[in-house]
């Protein structure tokens, strides 16, 4: 595939790195073979892992300012970038200026998240006549499913073209879409605090629709934090958004259809895909769920079957009932070890290892606001309780898409259309009395997802090795064995475990270790998993500069 030529350069630890207009710092560094971005307090190298602003392991220092996420920061000509150490000294001569000013918003409907669900909600609410603002964390809306290209003029694949159409519809509808917004606080009465472009952003909407999506569940094995190991979604973002391969030779592992899809996309992009390791047995061994999926959504089932055929045609080995057991460095590459259910073992050497073992909802805002949740044992995560119009237990607060529990992009879009109309109708814009067709479509999408995930094995219990030295908390570098020791001190609750071990106290706010720690405590105490099993959500839900917090407080004082 033809690629646009590099136009400019920045330096990374003194080395000159070329980049293409639109690439993120992480994409440009990956293309240049530089995978180690940050160094931990224990001297371990870390690289891009989630590719979507969640893990905080891609932090670099840019022009003297630390804590810049390489995956979320666009490369720019002449930048001086360096590996971030654990306790960086602030270079005050070059540091970014303090945050100044604040913008206040009070739309009829605030949509948080610019993916399939959020954009669909915005379009529906706008068309009903409500004023709508969409706040999105990324530079380009579209979310994890549509993953829009950041490169000007790059060809779009089918999914990206669908996303581009939806985005254009959202813009045409009159919704204001604000990109690059980091929401760090949510409070009763529907007050949201965020940082945007170096200024505070305060939103007091009449209604809000949360559509923050989900992030990927890793498989925690020895070496899963090495640079070059990343989520399958991160590898997909590199390729789709930046036309950057995560490595020339890659392996993909975990459970679920995304792994096969991304294996194919990378192979089509020119990568050698050494292996796709799937924990579940082949789909034909579960004929009933396969039949249910086919009945619920024949087109998507057919698409999935087609992916399997293409994988075979390309000669990419797909090993079912096979799980990752270990990753180790091998020169500049990675040695990945796998074990199959029949006892056989396999190893391969790759530049990049991609993993997806299911999903965790990004439900921090919903939990902060007190929306009622229940534990879903099949998916192993919390689901937000909602009524037929997707309103949560908090009046005026709606939740759509994967943030309320995994459901997939088609269901998210459907939910967005329902919630958008319902939120607008709540304020007197149009009516939401004829949602029957959308609700019937939603039931079909949900039936498909339920059947699909009975064919896969994204069991959250998999990979928990209570006595091992495998890291659980990437940020604070806490192992399973340390968690076990902490449990013996006081097994009562994950909150006490946090205080005993520091698990979940790092920059990612326990997004990866939190669900695992919660399950360990539940297992130890015999308690049922529920909302209270998890870390209590706290403000700030994302790292934010103190100056941004002060700017928000000043602005709020002025308003009050
Ligand atoms: S890779 Fe950038 S935050 Fe996770």
Q: Can you tell me which atom of ligand 1 is nearest the CA of 234?
A: 1
Q: Is 50 in the pocket of ligand 1 (CB under 6 A)?
A: yes
Q: Which residues contact 37 (CB under 8 A, 6 or more apart)?
A: 26, 29, 45, 46, 47, 48, 57, 58, 59, 60, 70, 83, 84, 227
Q: Which CATH superfamily is domain 102-215+360-455 in?
A: FAD/NAD(P)-binding domain (3.50.50.60)
Token pair 């106290």 is found at: 505
Ligand 1 centroid–CA 518 distance in Å is 23
> What's the rounded Cα separation, in Å, for the pair 327 and 253?
12
134 within 8 A of 118, measured Cβ to Cβ: yes
CA–chain centroid gap for 181, Å, is 15
* Side-chain half-sphere exposure of 337, counting CA atoms within 13 A: 12
Q: Is 51 in the pocket of ligand 1 (CB under 6 A)?
A: yes
Cα first-last separation, the chain: 56
Q: Where are the domains of the chain?
A: 8-83, 102-215+360-455, 219-357, 471-529
Segments of 287-380 assigned E as strands: 318-319, 322-330, 333-340, 345-350, 352-356, 359-361, 373-376
157 within 8 A of 141, measured Cβ to Cβ: no
Task: Identify the CATH number of the domain defined by range 8-83.
Answer: 3.10.20.440
Residue 233 dihedral angles phi and psi, to the nearest 5°: -65, -35
Q: Can you tell me which atom of ligand 1 is nearest the CA of 49?
A: 1
Decide yes or no: CATH 3.50.50.60 for domain 219-357: yes
pLDDT tens digits in sequence order for the chain, 560 residues long? 445 555 699 999 999 999 999 999 999 999 999 999 999 999 999 999 999 999 999 999 999 989 999 999 999 999 999 999 887 666 665 555 555 678 999 999 999 999 999 999 999 999 999 999 999 999 889 999 999 999 988 889 999 999 999 999 999 999 999 999 999 999 999 999 999 988 899 999 999 999 999 999 999 999 999 999 999 999 999 999 999 999 999 999 999 999 999 999 999 999 999 999 999 999 888 889 889 999 999 999 999 999 999 999 999 999 999 999 999 999 999 999 999 999 999 999 999 999 999 999 999 999 999 999 999 988 899 999 999 999 999 999 999 999 999 999 999 999 999 999 999 999 999 887 788 999 999 999 999 999 998 888 666 555 566 668 999 999 999 999 999 899 888 768 899 999 999 999 999 999 999 999 999 899 888 999 999 999 999 999 999 888 888 888 888 887 66
Ligand 1 centroid–CA 387 distance in Å is 34
Pocket test for ligand 1, best of 34, 58, 224 (most atoms within 8 A of CB): 58
What pLDDT does 1 receive? 46
Q: Which of 555, 465, 411, 373 is nearest to 115 (CA)?
A: 411
Q: Which of 539, 47, 511 is nearest to 247 (CA)?
A: 47
Q: Which of 296, 270, 253 is nearest to 448 (CA)?
A: 296
Please name every residue paired with 479 in a beta bridge, in sequence order, or none if there are none: 471
Supply 413's token pair: 């879009």
Q: Which helix (H) or strand (E) holds 487?
A: helix 480-489
Pocket test for ligand 1, best of 69, 139, 224, 226 (most atoms within 8 A of CB): 69
Ligand 1 centroid–CA 10 distance in Å is 20
Q: Can you tell me which atom of ligand 1 is nearest the CA of 51?
A: 1
Pocket test for ligand 1, best of 27, 28, 52 (most atoms within 8 A of CB): 52
Residue 54 dihedral angles phi and psi, to the nearest 5°: -100, -50
Supply 67's token pair: 């804590």
Q: Is 57 in the pocket of ligand 1 (CB under 6 A)?
A: yes
Q: Is 54 in the pocket of ligand 1 (CB under 6 A)?
A: yes
What pLDDT does 545 receive? 83
Ligand 1 centroid–CA 50 distance in Å is 5
Q: Which residues contact 382 (CB under 8 A, 6 or more apart)?
A: 361, 363, 367, 373, 374, 375, 376, 405, 531, 534
Q: Which of 535, 533, 372, 520 is nearest to 460 (CA)?
A: 520
What pLDDT does 555 receive? 83
Supply 197's token pair: 């472009």
CA–chain centroid gap for 307, Å, is 23
Supply 213's token pair: 């999506």
Residue 337 dihedral angles phi and psi, to the nearest 5°: -110, 140
What pLDDT does 183 receive? 97
Q: Can you tell me which atom of ligand 1 is nearest the CA of 59?
A: 2
Ligand 1 centroid–CA 434 distance in Å is 42
Q: Is 48 in the pocket of ligand 1 (CB under 6 A)?
A: yes
pTM: 0.94
486 within 8 A of 493, measured Cβ to Cβ: no
Q: Is 551 in the pocket of ligand 1 (CB under 6 A)?
A: no
Q: Is 216 in the pocket of ligand 1 (CB under 6 A)?
A: no
Q: Is 219 in the pocket of ligand 1 (CB under 6 A)?
A: no
Q: Which CATH architecture has domain 471-529?
A: Orthogonal Bundle (1.10)
> What's the rounded Cα separation, in Å, for the pair 43 and 397?
44
What pLDDT does 549 receive? 87
Q: Which residues contact 492 (CB under 8 A, 6 or more apart)?
A: 521, 525
Ligand 1 centroid–CA 156 distance in Å is 24
> What's the rounded Cα separation, in Å, for the pair 352 and 226?
10
Q: Do domains 8-83 and 102-215+360-455 have the same CATH topology?
A: no
Q: Is 552 in the pocket of ligand 1 (CB under 6 A)?
A: no
Ligand 1 centroid–CA 439 distance in Å is 36
> What's the rounded Cα separation, in Å, for the pair 44 and 5?
34
Task: Indicate the pairing of strand 352-356 with strand 249-254.
Answer: parallel
Pocket test for ligand 1, best of 54, 227, 474 (most atoms within 8 A of CB): 54
Sign of CA dihedral 89, 95, 101, 105: negative
For residue 217, count CB atoms less than 10 angstroms from its CB and return exposed for 0-12, middle for 13-18, buried for 19 or more.
buried
Q: Can you tell me which atom of ligand 1 is nearest the CA of 72?
A: 2
Q: Where does residue 279 fall: left (phi above 0), alpha (psi -120 to 50 degrees), or beta otherwise? A: alpha
> What's the rounded Cα separation, in Å, for the pair 230 and 210?
27
Pocket test for ligand 1, best of 24, 38, 51, 67 (most atoms within 8 A of CB): 51
Q: Is 58 in the pocket of ligand 1 (CB under 6 A)?
A: yes
Q: In what order do the strands lie in the sheet with 102-105?
A: 102-105, 199-203, 191-196, 181-187
Supply 385's token pair: 């309780």
Q: Is 235 in the pocket of ligand 1 (CB under 6 A)?
A: no
> What's the rounded Cα separation, in Å, for the pair 169 and 22?
23
- At 342 the three-state DSSP class reads coil
CA angle 211, 216, 220 (to 5 degrees): 150
Pocket test for ligand 1, best of 49, 218, 229, 474 (most atoms within 8 A of CB): 49
156 within 8 A of 150, measured Cβ to Cβ: no
Supply 214's token pair: 């989900």
Q: Is 71 in the pocket of ligand 1 (CB under 6 A)?
A: yes
Q: Is 56 in the pocket of ligand 1 (CB under 6 A)?
A: yes
């Amino acid at each position: 595939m033809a690629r646009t030529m590099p136009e400019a350069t920045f330096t990374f630890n003194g080395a000159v790195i070329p980049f293409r207009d639109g690439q993120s710092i992480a994409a440009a560094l990956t293309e240049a073979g530089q995978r180690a971005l940050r160094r931990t307090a224990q001297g371990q190298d870390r690289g891009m892992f989630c590719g979507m602003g969640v893990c905080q392991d891609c932090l670099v220092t840019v022009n003297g300012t630390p804590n810049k996420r390489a995956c979320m920061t666009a490369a720019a000509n002449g930048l001086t970038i360096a590996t971030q150490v654990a306790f960086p000294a602030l270079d005050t001569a070059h540091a970014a200026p303090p945050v100044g000013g604040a913008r206040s918003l009070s739309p009829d409907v605030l949509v948080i998240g610019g993916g399939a669900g959020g954009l669909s909600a915005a379009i529906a609410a706008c068309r009903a006549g409500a004023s709508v603002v969409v706040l999105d964390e990324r530079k380009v809306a579209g979310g994890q499913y549509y993953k829009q290209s950041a490169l000007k003029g790059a060809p779009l694949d089918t999914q990206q073209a669908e996303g581009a159409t939806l985005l254009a519809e959202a813009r045409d509808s009159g919704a204001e879409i604000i990109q690059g917004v980091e929401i760090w606080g949510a409070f009763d009465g529907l007050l949201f605090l965020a940082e945007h472009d170096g200024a505070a952003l305060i939103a007091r909407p009449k209604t809000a629709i949360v559509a923050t999506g989900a992030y990927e569940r890793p498989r925690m094995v020895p070496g899963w934090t090495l640079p070059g190991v990343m989520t399958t979604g991160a590898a997909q973002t590199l390729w789709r958004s930046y036309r950057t391969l995560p490595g020339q030779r890659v392996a993909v592992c975990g459970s679920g259809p995304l792994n096969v899809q991304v294996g194919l996309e990378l192979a089509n992009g020119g990568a050698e895909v050494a292996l796709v390791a799937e924990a579940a047995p082949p789909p034909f061994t579960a004929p009933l769920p396969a039949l249910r999926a086919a009945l619920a959504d024949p087109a998507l089932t057919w698409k999935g079957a087609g992916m399997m055929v293409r994988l075979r045609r390309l000669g990419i080995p797909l090993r079912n009932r096979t799980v990752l057991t270990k990753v180790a460095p091998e020169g500049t590459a990675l040695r990945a070890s796998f074990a199959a259910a029949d006892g056989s073992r396999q190893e391969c050497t790759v530049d990049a290892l991609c993993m997806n073992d299911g999903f965790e909802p990004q439900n921090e805002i919903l939990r902060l606001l007190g929306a009622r949740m229940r534990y879903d044992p099949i998916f192993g995560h919390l689901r937000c309780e909602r009524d037929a119009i997707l309103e949560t237990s908090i009046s005026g607060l709606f939740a759509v898409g994967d943030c309320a529990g995994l459901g997939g992009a088609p269901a998210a879009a459907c939910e967005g259309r329902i919630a958008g109309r319902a939120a607008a109708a709540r304020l007197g814009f149009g009516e939401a009395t004829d949602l029957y067709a959308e609700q019937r479509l939603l039931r079909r999408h949900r039936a498909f997802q339920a059947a699909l995930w009975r064919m896969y094995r994204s069991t959250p219990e998999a990979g928990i090795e209570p006595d091992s030295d495998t890291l659980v908390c990437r940020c604070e570098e806490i192992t399973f064995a340390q968690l076990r020791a902490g449990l013996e001190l006081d097994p009562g609750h994950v909150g006490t475990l946090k205080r005993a071990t520091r698990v979940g106290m790092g920059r990612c706010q326990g997004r990866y270790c939190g669900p695992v720690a919660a399950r360990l405590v539940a297992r130890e105490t015999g308690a049922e998993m529920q909302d209270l099993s998890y870390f209590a959500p706290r403000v700030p839900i994302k790292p934010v500069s103190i100056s941004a917090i002060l700017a928000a407080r000043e602005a709020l004082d002025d308003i009050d």
